[in-house]
Structures are given as structure tokens and as C-alpha cells.
Amino acid sequence: MQRLIIEGGRRLEGEIAVHGAKNAVLPILAATLLGGSSTLSNCPALSDVDAAGRILQTLGCTLKRQADRISVDAHSVEFREIPETLMREMRSSILFLGPILARCGRARLSFPGGCELGARPIDLHIEGLRRLGAVISEEHGYLNCSVRGRLHGAEITLPFPSVGATENILLAAVTAQGRTVLHNAAREPEICDLADFLNTCGGRVSVEGDRISVEGVESLHSGDYRVIPDRIEAATYLCASAATGGEVLLTGVRPGHLAAVLPALETAGCRINTGEDWIRLAAPHRLQAVPSVKTMPYPGFPTDAQAPLMAALCTAEGTSLFVETIFEARYKHVGELRRMGARIEVEGRVALVRGVESLSGANLCCTDLRGGAALVIAALSAEGRSTLTGLRHLDRGYQDLEGTLRRLGAKISRERE
């Protein structure tokens, strides 16, 4: 079992470059199934990205990785069942359903994994694909999907702007026959990135706010594309610096994608300056509480940044209030933060964080990806030593977490037993 050992209480200071966005590269990798050969740059080295690569290989693609570039040759794609082990490895495996159906005319896959945030249904994905002409049945935990001929365009309104359902529908619609209009679509930057990649490969997708129109094309061609920076990785390092009274310069980032996060950090007392592709944050010795943080679909405050910000505010002066509206079980880190001395009460979707003077190091276990990041942040700001297990969650979403934090002056190491 691997463990992170963190000696807390050190101010983080320095400059780091943000990696490419996990949640952008995953749907884009699924999209490469529709084209010839694609080369993606700014791809983070993460276990979820490796899992997506293995799914592509199962379907007959050839992959090459060189530094941050992944080349996918999808000329010889053929219908294959995606093994349950791969589907369970990450929830985003469901994003392959739309493109496999579009490319092969049928698909068979088990229900995806990644359910640590509570019930995560895929009804909106399935309903959307049915509207595009897919016939989908479920048996023994498997989805059997087929299309007679080609998928066709449709007018679809999502009851909730689900990120994954928007991506799956877009991926299926881009080579469908005719026009698709998706209303109440998700507006996350990762959706625009997927649309930009599809258009680079000859797709005809236009995103206007929460309305996405797609003119179906026969097929996509090869394309080279650079993935956008990871706004959640950026938010995590900003929160880590803020929690330790530090000062950090993030480069290779898009400040506009963090428009809901930066004001919260300013309310907490941080000084923030931004340029076209950089953010500088200088934190006070002690943060101030943030009266209300409510997670919402983009452009609202991202649910993925809720846990990291909560960790930083555990030692703020005053009481902060969080309302989690996206996922039903996204406070799993709270129990672990309490073990460090945090005073947090949870009632349904609301968490009340009463700032304490300091946290103390403890033995902790990561419960999910962003919850794990929150524990790292808390451990960095705490007095004494913390050990963290459950690192597979962190490795899904943070490339070289320890190396990056060490460059900022953290005392952190990984023990491999």
C-alpha cells in the first residue's frame, strides 16, 4: 500500500505550470474514435487517461504517448465489448458509448464505475442517445445498444445540464444524419473544448450558451489539438497556497475558467492578480470565512472545488457555509477533516464550517479524488505529521502531486511498501 507523508505547517511559495484538463482530455479521447489519426497535446499523465487509452486499444486503436502528446490512430476501429474491469475503473468510460454507437452501429458495455459521489445515474445519457435513434436495453448489468443504419439528428432538452450526458449526445450527434439541437446543455469549458476538437476534425458544432447545435457530417478527419488547462487542478493549488498563508504564481492557466473560484478566495482575504494565462495569489496569515459557497453548474462555483476550498477554510476566522447542489454524497472528506480537529456540521446538502485556530496532523484516508485533495491541503496547513492512504483516487486526477507541492516548499513524500 502506498502512503503520502506530509509534515504540515510550511508556507507554500513559488511558481507552477498547470497541466492539461483531465475532464477535457477524457471526452476528447473518446471523440478520437470518430476520426482517422489525432494528436492531442497537453495531455496530463493520469490513471484515468491511461484507462481511456486502454479502452481505445480494446476497440482496435493504436496509441502512442510521448511526453504530453498522445497520438491515436482510429483507422482500424472494430466492434468489441468493453470489459467490465475497464468500465469499472472510471465513470467517464460511459462517454465511449456515443462514439462507439456512431462508429460501429452497436455497443455493449457494463454500467460504469466511479460511484463514490453517491448514486450517479446515466438515464440522461441513455434517453439522449435513444432520441438520436439508438435502441438500448439493459441486462445483467450490461447495456446492449444498436442502431439501424445511422443515428439521426433530434431536438433534445436536458432536464438538468449534465456534463457527461451533454458530451455523450454531442459525440453521437456529430456524425448523425441531420441536425441536432440540444437545449439546457452543460456549459463547462470542457464542453467547449470537446466541440472545438470535433470542429478541428471537420465537425459542425456550434455552442451558444446552453444551446448546442450540431449539423451532422458523414465522418470526421484527422486533427491535431491542444487540450485546455485544468481549472480544478489550478483551484486545488490556489486553495493549498491559501491554506498555508502562501504565495503562488500559476502559469498556463485560463483565469476566466475560474471566475467563480477567484472571488471566493478574495472574500477569504487573498490578493489575486491575473493576466491572460497566469494567476498570482498572495494569502494572508489567516484566512477569513466565506459566508456562502453554493456549488452550481458552470459558470457557478464548481462542485470539484468544494472540498479543496472547505479544507482551506477549516482554519479561517469565522464560519463558512457550503451548499452542495450537484452530487448527493460529496462531503465524504468531512469525517477525515474532523479527525484533524476541524469543526464541521453537515445537514443534508449543507455544511457549516466553524474555523478553528489550527488543525493537527492525523492518519487519513482519501475517500474520492477531490476529497483526497482536500485532505492533502488540510495536512499541508496542519501542525505535525499526517499520513494519507487511498492514493489511487489522487492519481486519477493530479499529475505529480508530490513533486509539484515540493517545488512550492512542501514537505511531502510517497512511501511505497
Q: Which of 220, 240, 108 is nearest to 172 (CA)?
A: 220
163: left (phi over 0), alpha (psi -120 to 50) or beta: alpha
Query: Is residue 236 within the footprint of ligand EPZ (CB under 6 A)?
Result: no
412, 16 in Cβ contact below 8 A? no
Query: Is residue 299 within the footprint of ligand EPZ (CB under 6 A)?
Result: no
Q: Burial of 36 by CB count in 10 Å (0-12 exposed, 13-18 middle, 19+ buried)? A: middle
Grid coordinates of 197: 476538437
CB 64, min distance to ligand EPZ, A: 23
Query: Is residue 333 within the footprint of ligand EPZ (CB under 6 A)?
Result: no
Query: Is residue 160 within the footprint of ligand EPZ (CB under 6 A)?
Result: yes
For ligand EPZ, which residue has the nearest CB? 164
159, 184 in Cβ contact below 8 A? yes
Give the other-Cβ count within 10 Å of 301's Cβ.
25
Task: Please identify which residue in 25, 70, 86, 165 interacts with ligand EPZ, judged by CB under 6 A.
Answer: 165
Nearer to ligand EPZ, 26 or 405 (CB): 26
The C-alpha angle with vertex 200 and arms to 195 and 204, in degrees rounded to 5, equals: 55
> Interface with ligand EPZ by CB under 6 A: which range of 161-169, 221-229, 355-363, 407-415?
161-169
Q: Which residues make beta-bridge pairs with 139?
A: 142
Grid coordinates of 1: 500500500
Query: Is residue 164 within the footprint of ligand EPZ (CB under 6 A)?
Result: yes
Nearer to ligand EPZ, 72 or 169 (CB): 169
Query: Is residue 163 within the footprint of ligand EPZ (CB under 6 A)?
Result: yes
Q: Residues 13-52 vs ligand EPZ: string with x where CB under 6 A?
A: ----------x--x--------------------------
Identity (one letter) of the amino acid at 203? G
DSSP 274-317: E-SSEEEEE--SSPBP-S-EEB-STTSB-GGGHHHHHHHHTTSB
3-state secondary structure of 402: helix
CB 172, min distance to ligand EPZ, A: 14
Catalytic pick among 43, 104, 115, 270: 115
Nearer to ligand EPZ, 187 or 280 (CB): 187
Nearer to ligand EPZ, 8 or 302 (CB): 302
Q: How far apart are CA 201 and CA 183, in angstroms?
A: 24
Q: Burial of 218 by CB count in 10 Å (0-12 exposed, 13-18 middle, 19+ buried)? A: exposed
Q: How far apart are CA 274 and CA 250, in angstroms?
A: 9
Task: Please identify which residue in 369, 382, 408, 410 interacts with ligand EPZ, judged by CB under 6 A.
Answer: 369
Q: How far apart are CA 244 and CA 377, in angstroms?
A: 8
Nearer to ligand EPZ, 182 or 249 (CB): 182
Q: Burial of 209 by CB count in 10 Å (0-12 exposed, 13-18 middle, 19+ buried)? A: exposed
Task: Please identify which residue in 73, 233, 247, 304 interacts with ligand EPZ, judged by CB under 6 A.
Answer: 304
Nearer to ligand EPZ, 44 or 341 (CB): 44
Grid coordinates of 310: 472547505
Task: Please identify which residue in 93, 180, 236, 303 interacts with ligand EPZ, judged by CB under 6 A.
Answer: 303
Site residues (CB under 6 A) for ligand EPZ, limited to 370-389: 370
CB 416, min distance to ligand EPZ, A: 24
CB 360, min distance to ligand EPZ, A: 27
Q: How far apart are CA 48 and CA 369, in angstroms?
A: 11
Nearer to ligand EPZ, 46 or 217 (CB): 46
The yes-or-no answer on residue 115 being catalytic is yes
Query: Is residue 138 within the footprint of ligand EPZ (CB under 6 A)?
Result: no
Radius of gyration of the chain measured on its C-alpha atoms: 21
Nearer to ligand EPZ, 168 or 241 (CB): 168
CB 300, min distance to ligand EPZ, A: 10
Give the other-Cβ count within 10 Å of 315's Cβ.
23
Site residues (CB under 6 A) for ligand EPZ, limited to 71-130: 91-92, 120-125
Catalytic residues: 115
Instruction: List interacting residues with ligand EPZ (CB under 6 A).
Output: 23, 26, 91-92, 120-125, 160, 162-165, 190, 303-304, 326-327, 369-370, 397
